[in-house]
Each structure stands twice: as structure tokens, then as C-alpha cells.
A and B are shown apart, each in its own frame.
Chain A
Amino acid sequence: MSEELTQRVISVIATAQKLPLERITIDSTFEELGIDSLDGVNILFALENEFNINIPDDKVEGVRSVRQMVESLEKVVSGEEPPAAAAQT
């Protein structure tokens, strides 16, 4: 798991959730951070913008922690998921 990727994900979550960076670690669960499903949608949007990628729903199903989010994102970023046409508009 890339440390740089992890830090960028944590930074995006902190900004989206209006939380201080130091509140969030790789081991934080979404429940601990007060992230509900609507917050999750916001975070995915912010991550898509941060990494300029398209994150399909089925790649993040069941993600409930920062670690799971980083792991899912690693797969998407590593090119397993080519960006959809939608990302160009």
C-alpha cells in the first residue's frame, strides 16, 4: 500500500468531512469518523477529482474504512478500471 496514496486519501477525506487531518489514520473506520452513505458519495466525488479517475459503484461496495478505501482505490488507479467517457465531460 503506497504511503503517498494513503496520505492523499486521508487528506481528501479530511477536506470533504471538514475534519482535522490528525483525526484520521489508515485504521479509522467510517463509523468513527461519522461518515454516512451521503458523506461517502461526497468523498468518492472528491477522490474522483483528486485522482482524475472514474470510480464505479461496484469497486467501492462494502467500503467502511480508510484502509478499505485506499485498497479499492489502488486497484482503480493502477489501471484496472479505464476512465469512462463520462470523465471527459
Chain B
Amino acid sequence: MGARRVVITGVGVISALGLDARQFWQTLAAGRSGIGLIQAVDPGLLRFSNGAEVRDFDPARHFEPKELDLLDRFAQLGMVAAREAVRDAALEWSAALRERTAIVTGNCNGGQTTEDEGFVDLYRKNRSRVNPMTIPRTMGNAAASRISVEFGITGPSYTISTACASSTHALGQAFWLVRHGLAELAVTGGSEAPFSLGNLKAWEAMRVVSPDTCRPFSKDRRGMILGEGAAMLVLEPLEAALARGAHVYAEIVGFGMSADAHHITQPSVEGPARAMRAALEDARIQPDQVGYINAHGTGTLANDPTETKAIRLVFGAHTERIAVSSTKSMHGHSLGASGAIEAVATALALERALLPPTANFTEPDPACDLDVVPNAARPAQVDYALSNSFAFGGLNAVVALRRWQ
């Protein structure tokens, strides 16, 4: 079977910017940051105090008590986003479609909140046993499995873990499965819930978390801000979407991957550049067709100038005509969920002809000399956009999206 065109027909987002995709977009468009004082643990125990947590999420409103026994917060968030995306796509399930639907999710930490609780029981409370549901709650594929059970999806389903690029790798894989006829539909995205004391202390020790807020590409940036959340997308062949009159958000046209083969934490210029080029080649488009890039843009000292160089390497003089923003300035860096969250932001930006800004921006950095759409969203009709994700460990993933008229 030849390559088919693939479109996004459903989206779901739960993040620090609200409990659904509508709130997510409204907050992005307003340029409002969801970063605030950490609630999940006592910030007095940490060197940093701010995070981008999902606020006002009541799991009991979404799941039966018996279901919650089996679901860590990361899986709950993933399931809530998947329900929204599937509802949004207005799918009509049949046995045949269920069998031909794929689920590909991204996740970095698994159910580490559950694991952390178990360790507290063992080591601090001196209990001799942990919750018997610890294993199914902590496995990284828990969200994918739950999505499969809830919708009766029986096609190829799996989870990809490539740190901060997890859900971009997942989205790209799902895109290829649908494009090449290995699946007729895909539910794909990622979820993450990194706010436990043990995990936050580990981030503290890495010394990459900002003591105030996330200011990507800004001269006074001090680091990243951790976020939590989930985003899921429904992908299907263009023909099928048109035949059933589905709403199309955007077309996915390319996916590129690369490895730096360099350093476990230091970013490289070449690796990300090769991933961007690969995405353009896969999309069969030229660099000068790209008008917007949703950057990896973590706000760390190391990432932003390196990503700037990588973008310049790929786009040359055309870089001056590309808007580049980091929405992590608003929804934080939710690790395995961030690629999917940013892909949704990119798709909505194309659809609504409004580029979300880089919030919290104060001062240009000559080492990050890009048009970063500072602080206020910008009306602009863009035909093609990239969404970048570059992981610790030097594993890079980039998706290319096209505006649907």
C-alpha cells in the first residue's frame, strides 16, 4: 500500500493551562503561564519552588474508585486526554476499526509517584509490604493499556520512552503506522506526572531547574520548569476523515529522528539539525516553506543557544522569516508528555492562524537570536510548522505539520 496523507481529527490536553484542549488553547493564546508554587510536595524541601502542575484535577470525577486503584496519576492524565481526543474526533467504532487502530504513547518516568509512595512505606514508615498494585501502576505503558481497555482497541499498541522526546517519537511512529497502512486509526500522545519528592529531589540535584520561572531564549533564563500533563491526538487517513465529514485540525506531513552520539546531557547542534532535516525530507518540503517552529526551548542555559544554532544550520537565511516560540514557558516541561502537548499547540496554531508566544521573555540573548514571538501571541497564517523535541541522551524527534485549509 502506498503512502497515505494523515490528518489530526481529535485532540485532548490536560495541563497546567487547564483541564481540556479548549482551556489549553485559550491560555496559550493569551500568553498566560501556568507556572506557580508547587502544591504536590512541600517546596520548603526543595531548592526550587515553582512548577507547572495540573490544578483542580479531581480523579474521582473521572474514574471509579476501583479503577483508581490501578492508575497512577500519569495514567489518569493520559486517559483523560485520550477520552477528550476520541470524543472530539466523533469516532464511530466498529469491531473492524478497533482491530485496525493503533495506540502509541510516550512516557518518561512511568508511575514514579506510586513508586515514591511505596519507598516511603518501606524505608520511612518501616512497613514490610507495598501496595500490590504498585507494578501495574508504575509500568510506563499503563496509560496505553488503559486506553486500549476502555475503547476496546485491539490493534498494535505500545509505549515509547525517550525522555523529553518520548511523545514526539510516539506521534511520529503513529503517523507512519497510519501513513503506510499498518493502522487505519491511531490514538497517540503522551503523559507525565513527575511531582513526587523523590523525583523532584533528583531534578534538584541535576541543577537545571529554574529558581524562578521558565524564560526560554531570554538572556536571564535560569533553567527549566517541570510540568505535568497529557496530550492525545487522533490520527487517520485524510480520505477516511473526509468521507466521514470529520473536523481536520492539521495534516501531519513528516517525521524525523536522530541521535547525537555525543553526551548524556549536553545538547549538540548537529543531532537536532539532522532530525529537523529528516522531518523536512520525510515531508518532501523545502526549508523555506516553514513559517513556525514550536521549539524544544527548555529555558536551560545549554539548550536554547544550541537549538538556535541548529535551526540556523538547517534554515540558513530563511531563519529570519521563521517565528520560533517555546510554549514550555507556559505549560512547563512535562518530559514525556511535552512533545504531544506542543504538537497540539502547533496544530492549533496552524488552524487558528495564531502563533503562541514565548512567555516570561524579558531580554534578548545574542546567542538566541531568533524571532521568539515574545510574550504576546501573533496572528499569522503559516503553511508548514515543525515541533521539536530533543531528549537527554541525545535522542531527537521532530514532526512537520501542514495547515489544513
Q: Which residues of A are in contact with B by a Cβ distance under 8 Å?
A: 36-38, 41, 44-45, 54, 56-57, 84-86, 89
- Beta-carbon nearest neighbor of B265 in chain A: A38
Cβ A85 vs Cβ B45 within 8 A = yes
CA distance A77 to B206 in the complex (A): 21
**Given A85-B44, A86-B47, A89-B45, A38:B205 Cβ within 8 A:** no
**Given A56-B47, A86-B45, A36:B204 Cβ within 8 A:** no
CA distance A84 to B211 in the complex (A): 14
Cβ A38 vs Cβ B263 within 8 A = yes
Query: B residues 373-393 with Cβ under 8 Å of A?
Result: none
Shortest Cβ-Cβ A-B pairs, 5 listed: A38-B265, A85-B44, A41-B207, A86-B45, A57-B207
- Chain A nearest CB: distance from B227 CB in Å? 20
A interface SS class = helix
Interface string of B193-214 (1 = CB under 8 A from A): 0000100010011110001000
Cβ A41 vs Cβ B206 within 8 A = yes
Cβ B263 vs Cβ A86 within 8 A = no
- Chain A nearest CB: distance from B116 CB in Å? 13
Q: CB-CB < 8 A to B265: which residues of A?
A: 37-38
Q: How many A-B residue pairs have CB under 8 A?
A: 30
Neighbour of A41 across the interface among B45, B205, B211, CB < 8 A: B205
The verdict on B131 contacting chain A, using a C-beta distance below 8 Å, is no
CA distance A37 to B223 in the complex (A): 14
Cβ B263 vs Cβ A84 within 8 A = no
- Beta-carbon nearest neighbor of B208 in chain A: A41
CA distance A89 to B45 in the complex (A): 8
- Beta-carbon nearest neighbor of B42 in chain A: A85
- Category for how many chain B residues contact A: 10 to 19
The verdict on B26 contacting chain A, using a C-beta distance below 8 Å, is no
CA distance A41 to B211 in the complex (A): 16
Q: CB-CB < 8 A to A56: which residues of B?
A: 47
- Chain A nearest CB: distance from B291 CB in Å? 34
Neighbour of B207 across the interface among A36, A44, A54, CB < 8 A: A44
B interface SS class = loop
- Chain A nearest CB: distance from B8 CB in Å? 37
- Chain B nearest CB: distance from A82 CB in Å? 14
- Chain A nearest CB: distance from B214 CB in Å? 15
Q: CB-CB < 8 A to A84: which residues of B?
A: 47
Q: CB-CB < 8 A to A37: which residues of B?
A: 265-266, 302
CA distance A41 to B300 in the complex (A): 15
CA distance A10 to B92 in the complex (A): 68
**Given A41-B206, A44-B207, A57-B207, A86:B264 Cβ within 8 A:** no
Q: CB-CB < 8 A to B266: which residues of A?
A: 36-38
- Beta-carbon nearest neighbor of B205 in chain A: A45
**Given A36-B263, A38-B264, A57-B211, A86:B206 Cβ within 8 A:** no
Q: CB-CB < 8 A to B205: which residues of A?
A: 41, 45
CA distance A38 to B211 in the complex (A): 19
CA distance A57 to B204 in the complex (A): 10
Query: B residues 211-263 with Cβ under 8 Å of A?
Result: 211, 263
CA distance A27 to B345 in the complex (A): 50
For this complex, 29 residue pairs linking A to B, each with C-beta atoms less than 8 Å apart, are: A36-B263, A36-B266, A37-B265, A37-B266, A37-B302, A38-B263, A38-B264, A38-B265, A38-B266, A41-B205, A41-B206, A41-B207, A44-B207, A45-B205, A54-B47, A56-B47, A57-B47, A57-B207, A57-B211, A84-B47, A85-B44, A85-B45, A86-B45, A86-B46, A86-B47, A86-B204, A89-B45, A89-B197, A89-B201
CA distance A89 to B42 in the complex (A): 12
CA distance A36 to B47 in the complex (A): 22
Q: CB-CB < 8 A to B201: which residues of A?
A: 86, 89
- Beta-carbon nearest neighbor of B210 in chain A: A57
CA distance A54 to B265 in the complex (A): 23
- Beta-carbon nearest neighbor of A44 in chain B: B207
- Beta-carbon nearest neighbor of A58 in chain B: B211
Q: CB-CB < 8 A to A36: which residues of B?
A: 263, 266
Q: CB-CB < 8 A to B264: which residues of A?
A: 38
Q: CB-CB < 8 A to B263: which residues of A?
A: 36, 38
Q: CB-CB < 8 A to A38: which residues of B?
A: 263-266
Q: CB-CB < 8 A to B204: which residues of A?
A: 86
- Chain A nearest CB: distance from B200 CB in Å? 10
Q: CB-CB < 8 A to A54: which residues of B?
A: 47
CA distance A36 to B268 in the complex (A): 14
CA distance A77 to B46 in the complex (A): 20
- Beta-carbon nearest neighbor of A56 in chain B: B47
